[in-house]
Amino acid sequence: MIYLHIPFCKQKCSYCNFHFSTSLNYKEEMVAAIKKEIGLRRDELENKNIKSLYFGGGTPSILKVDELQSIIDEVLKHFSFDPDIEITLEANPDDLDKNFLKELSKTSFNRLSIGTQSFFDEDLKLMNRAHNSGEAESSIKRAQDFGFENISIDLIYGSPSSNFEIWKQNLDKTIELQVPHVSSYALTIEPKTMLNAWISQGKIAAPKEAEQHEEFFYMIDFLKDNGFDHYEISNFGKPGFHSKHNSAYWKYQEYLGIGPSAHSYNGRNERSWNIANNQLYINSLNKSILPKETEILSEKDQFNEMLMIGLRTVWGVDLSSLKEKFSTELLEYFQNEIKTKLEDGLLKIENNHLTIPEKHWFLADGIASDLFVV
């Protein structure tokens, strides 16, 4: 699979620490550099048959449709597309006007991931989103009118501008709009964000973990009652609408990341990442130099990552794969470490897969990190 990072946004969201720029001065040069990188890295994927192409960011929908299509055309020069390929565009509601969607419907994009975040203006203002509540709803309806059925929306819970009743209404609206996939995250306070500064200055209250916990478990029950599978801690999809792209990450498959700050993984022991600087990225590729760094993952790194990723999912960690991949010494350590957590019910083993019971998923990262080899 291939991930394409489009590093532009109209404005900076208060909670975001991803790499992007609000200046579009070098947009054409960036598109050209991305296409150049695709060609230079065409031999890095063993499987040339692409099952997922994902435009993330940033805000990919800030590009014109013909610019997006030109990138797809470049990928097709070097790779083939699986007949059931999933081609996703992350989009903000304010970008999805009639003209944009009309043009997009003529392309091979077949999935939209819409950054809704909330259907309430007070939440959106706190997050410094570029859209309002009316656009949050109308963009989804418009996309459906233009034939986009495979739609995912992002929702954020646990915001200081929200409460339990508002959260319930956000989920009710999701069902009313017949959205088949939801990615939902607790509002977290990241360093060097506006939100972190506001909390430090006492302008707003910090999110309350107890409230986030309550809203998380209400969401699980509510979405499952409405036909969704809870297949990863933050992801819910109706049958047939699970994200192929994200599922590939969680199953340790190889992927190629294109664009500034994008990461790649060879499916074995090598990870690389591009420089998180737009101008340096463009300048390097103008010289046909790949602006990336590479890391060889140790056995411990691979083991820890396999646990961290796998234990966030409904299918968990395949114990047979662990046995094939890792040394006897490491496996003995692992068997000793999981004993107490199995006895306490924080872990369980079914069909030779180690999983965290759903009622403990809110603690999954901590449970996994307790098992890490250091």
Residues 213-229: pLDDT tens digits?
999 999 999 999 999 99
Confidence tier at 72 by pLDDT (50, 70, 90): very high
pLDDT surpassing 90 at residue 193: no
Instruction: Count CA atoms closer than 13 A to 207's CA, side-chain side.
Output: 24
Q: Distance between CA atoms of 65 and 361, rounded to whole angstroms?
A: 39
Q: Distance between CA atoms of 243 and 85, rounded to whole angstroms?
A: 11
Edge-to-edge strands of the sheet including 80-91? Answer: 229-232, 235-237, 181-186, 151-157, 111-117, 80-91, 49-57, 2-6, 256-258
**pLDDT reported for residue 9:** 83
User: Among 253, 289, 295, which residue's Cα sits nearest to residue 272?
Assistant: 295
Token pair in block for residue 114: 């819409």
Q: Distance between CA atoms of 370 and 374, rounded to whole angstroms?
A: 10
Query: Strand locations in 151-224, DSSP E?
Result: 151-157, 181-186
Give me the sign of the Cα torsion angle 196, 200, 201, 204: positive
pLDDT surpassing 90 at residue 201: no
> What domains can you pick out in the chain, each with its CATH number?
2-249 (3.80.30.20), 298-374 (1.10.10.920)
Instruction: Count CA atoms closer than 13 A to 1's CA, side-chain side.
Output: 27
- How many other C-beta atoms can be found within 10 angstroms of the C-beta atom of residue 126? 24
**pLDDT reported for residue 20:** 65
**How large is the average pLDDT for residues 168-190?**
94
Q: Distance between CA atoms of 123 and 194, rounded to whole angstroms?
A: 15
Share of the chain above pLDDT 90, in %: 79
Contact 259, 5 (CB under 8 A): yes
**How large is the average pLDDT for residues 30-39?**
98
Q: Distance between CA atoms of 45 and 131, rounded to whole angstroms?
A: 37
Cis peptide before 57 (omega within 30 of 0): no
**pLDDT reported for residue 374:** 82
**How large is the average pLDDT for residues 200-209?**
83
Residues 317-363: pLDDT tens digits?
999 999 999 999 999 999 999 999 999 999 999 999 999 999 999 88
User: Among 273, 79, 309, which residue's Cα sits nearest to residue 265?
Assistant: 273
- Calculate the average pLDDT of the chain: 93
**How large is the average pLDDT for residues 216-244?**
96
CA distances from 38 to 35, 90, 203, 216 (A): 5, 19, 45, 39
pLDDT surpassing 90 at residue 250: no
pLDDT surpassing 90 at residue 33: yes
- Using a 10 angstrom Cβ sphere, with 0-12 exposed, 13-18 middle and 19 or more buried, the burial of residue 143 is buried
Confidence tier at 200 by pLDDT (50, 70, 90): confident
**How large is the average pLDDT for residues 306-311?**
93
Share of the chain above pLDDT 70, in %: 99
Confidence tier at 207 by pLDDT (50, 70, 90): confident
User: Among 287, 290, 257, which residue's Cα sits nearest to residue 271?
Assistant: 257
Contact 276, 261 (CB under 8 A): yes
For residue 265, list its beta bridge partners. Answer: 255, 271
Residues 111-142: pLDDT tens digits?
999 999 999 999 998 888 888 999 999 999 99
**How large is the average pLDDT for residues 204-221?**
90
**How large is the average pLDDT for residues 250-278?**
93
Edge-to-edge strands of the sheet including 317-318? Answer: 317-318, 353-355, 348-350
- State which H helix or E strand residue 101 sits in: helix 98-104
Helices (H), 127-163: 133-145
User: Among 96, 93, 94, 51, which residue's Cα sits nearest to residue 75?
Assistant: 51
